[in-house]
């Protein structure tokens, strides 16, 4: 084995590939596991009139970064076909029954689950089989989980181990997630679609009402695709006294990405 070949192998062993898939987008980032810096980050819109396989063939053919020999690959499935269930109530033989109450499922659907040990929760979801089959052919083996598993893990790491309720909101282009934690335990998780700022604040205030939280004292922490100048922030601040938008500049510098990239791909870059 010559020195160049050895250096290539060592370089590949330090790199991890993260892929995020939905019916609308395919995104990936390559991260150096030693210094946690992002080497490559790209996103592509998917055409609903073309097959997943056709489009992935194009991406993998033209993206040199995807052609490296990765030893560690994590695929994140991005959809709202998931639900969290306490481990004590979980039955692995009845995965579909947990989802039938909040989404339409079919007998042909494939179900999987992620275990959140610290939370004593299981995240049951419907992964995209077409994506998984393609990646199996390309990589041979890889790990996959639901995007919201990564989100809850991330916010759990940010939460304090005390009795105060911590209210996290992750904002995306047309949907957002609310995560409530107490003593690092999951109190509530939900995902909402929105089209207007009024939709956005309605769902947040609905959670306040249901959990009897005080809009004058409860802190709401906003992450993802939102800024203090945005209409979404302004309407939240109008109704809730304590609103914080995460300052992402330092994190973006550490990851070697722009603040805008971090806002748009917050979960992918923190997986």
Dump pLDDT digits (tens) for 125-179. Answer: 999 999 999 999 999 999 999 999 999 999 999 998 889 999 999 999 999 999 9
Q: What is the per-residue DSSP string for 130-163?
A: HHHHHHHHHHSS-EEEEHHHHHHHHHHHHS-SSS
Residues of the chain with pLDDT under 50: 1-10
Instruction: Say what the pLDDT of residue 141 is.
Output: 93
Q: What is the per-residue DSSP string for 222-255?
A: EEES--TTSHHHHHHHHH-SEEEE---HHHHHHH
> How many angstroms separate the CA atoms of 174 and 200, rounded?
10
Instruction: Say what the pLDDT of residue 100 is.
Output: 87
> How many angstroms separate the CA atoms of 243 and 237, rounded?
6
Tally: H helices and E strands in the chain = 10, 13
Instruction: Say what the pLDDT of residue 166 is.
Output: 97
Asked if residue 40 lies in contact with residue 269, where contact means CB atoms within 8 angstroms, the answer is no
Instruction: Say what the pLDDT of residue 12 is.
Output: 56
Instruction: Say what the pLDDT of residue 13 is.
Output: 64
Instruction: Say what the pLDDT of residue 1 is.
Output: 41
| End-to-end Cα distance, the chain | 34
Domain positions in the chain: 3-77, 157-270
> How many angstroms separate the CA atoms of 174 and 88, rounded?
34
Q: Give the CATH number of domain 3-77.
A: 3.30.420.250
Q: DSSP assignment, residue 47?
A: P
> How many angstroms separate the CA atoms of 14 and 23, rounded?
30
Work out the burial of residue 139: count CB atoms within 10 Å of its CB; fewer than 13 is exposed, 13-18 middle, 19 or more buried. middle
Instruction: Say what the pLDDT of residue 11 is.
Output: 55
DSSP H or E run through 43: strand 38-45
Domain 157-270 belongs in CATH node 3.30.420.260:
yes
Residues 6+ away with beta carbon under 8 Å from 83 = 98, 99, 101, 102, 103, 123, 124, 125
Instruction: Say what the pLDDT of residue 106 is.
Output: 82
Alpha-carbon radius of gyration of the chain: 20
pTM for the predicted model, two decimal places: 0.92
Asked if residue 26 lies in contact with residue 19, where contact means CB atoms within 8 angstroms, the answer is yes
Residues in the chain: 271
For residue 254, count other CB atoms closer than 10 A to its CB: 13
């Amino acid at each position: 084995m010559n020195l160049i070949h050895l250096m290539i192998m060592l370089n590949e062993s330090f790199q991890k590939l993260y892929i995020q898939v939905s019916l609308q987008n395919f995104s990936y980032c390559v991260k150096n596991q030693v210094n946690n810096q992002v080497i490559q980050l790209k996103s592509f819109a998917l055409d609903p009139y073309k097959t997943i396989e056709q489009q992935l063939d194009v991406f993998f053919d033209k993206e040199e970064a995807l052609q490296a020999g990765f030893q560690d690959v994590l695929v994140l499935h991005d959809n709202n076909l998931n639900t969290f269930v306490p481990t004590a109530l979980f039955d692995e033989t009845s995965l579909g029954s947990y989802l039938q109450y909040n989404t339409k499922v079919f007998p042909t659907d494939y179900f999987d689950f992620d275990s959140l040990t610290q939370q004593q929760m299981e995240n049951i979801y419907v992964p995209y089989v077409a994506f998984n089959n393609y990646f199996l052919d390309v990589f041979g083996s890889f790990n996959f989980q639901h995007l919201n598993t990564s989100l809850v893990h991330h916010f759990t790491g940010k939460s304090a181990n005390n009795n105060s309720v911590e209210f996290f909101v992750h904002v995306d282009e047309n949907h957002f997630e609310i995560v409530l934690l107490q003593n690092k335990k999951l109190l509530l998780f939900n995902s909402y679609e929105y089209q207007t700022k009024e939709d956005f604040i309605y769902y947040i205030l609905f959670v306040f009402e249901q959990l009897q939280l005080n809009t004058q004292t409860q802190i709401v922490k906003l992450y993802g695709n939102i800024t203090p100048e945005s209409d979404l922030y302004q309407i939240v601040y109008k109704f809730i006294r304590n609103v914080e938008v995460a300052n992402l500049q330092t994190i973006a510098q550490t990851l070697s990405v722009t603040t805008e990239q971090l806002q748009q791909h917050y979960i992918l870059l923190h997986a």
